[in-house]
Structure formats: structure tokens, C-alpha cells
Amino acid sequence: MKHLLLIAVTTISSFLSFNTFAQSDYTVSWGASGLSGSGLVSLKYDLDVGSSFYAIHGAYTLNNGLSIPSTGTCFSTNAGGVLCNITMNAFNGALNIGQNLNGTITIFDQNGQQIEAGVLTMKSLN
């Protein structure tokens, strides 16, 4: 009886298991310039495309080589670009990406005040 129960549990669990290492739809990275105050030099995100929104998970890298986890949500604009809001440790960021996949980044403090703005240049899209 125990043997049959073990076979049943194993069979059922094989149908219910899922891959915890799912592939992202895309991975994109940008170089950042004009952000001397924050020291941000690049961003790299996995991009998962939903029916209306995009989820991004990745990190931003500072000029000292430190990478810090970051997440956000994006949506497509009527002009063909993409707008994203991202969390950046104690700060927030807004990405405005154009059709050419280059764009701008604006960094805000905890009170919503703009700290600085810079330019994003796409480095890779996979």
C-alpha cells in the first residue's frame, strides 16, 4: 500500500512541478551618462512581456562597480516608446525609452524631488 501511495504522489507531483528558472522574454542593458551625482553608469534588466505591461527585474551598476538590485513596471506609449518606473534602493527612477531603444532616466528622492537626469544608450538586447 505504501508503495502505491508513493507512486501516486510522485506521479501527481511531476504534473504539478514548475520550472523555477524560467526564461525571461528579453534581457536588455543600457549605458547611462550624465549622472555624476548618483554614479550610475549602467542598467541591465530581464524583461517579461505581459498582455498590457512589462515587468523588469535586474540591477543598476555604479561607477565603483557595485551592482544593486532593481525592479519595475513598464508600459508602451502611443508614440511607440516605453515608460518605466523602477525602484533603486532608497530612490526611484523613471525610464523613457524611445523606438530606437535609447532614452532618458530621471532619478527621484524619497520625497519625489528630481535629483538628476541622464541619457540611456542601449548596449544589448537578447
Residue 77 has a CB neighbour count (10 Å cut-off) of 13
Each domain of the chain, given as residue ranges in start order, spans 25-125
Q: What pTM does this model have? A: 0.79
- Classify burial at 106, counting beta carbons within 10 Å of its beta carbon; exposed 0-12, middle 13-18, buried 19 or more: middle
Tell me the pLDDT tens digit for each residue of 56-109: 999 999 999 999 999 999 999 998 899 999 999 889 999 999 999 999 999 999
User: Computed from CA positions of residues 19, 68, 125, 93, in that sequence, does the dihedral angle turn out positive or negative?
Assistant: positive
Cell numbers for 41:
553608469
Tell me the pLDDT tens digit for each residue of 52-63: 999 999 999 999
Pick the CATH number of 25-125 from 3.90.700.10, 3.40.190.10, 2.40.128.120, 3.40.50.300: 2.40.128.120
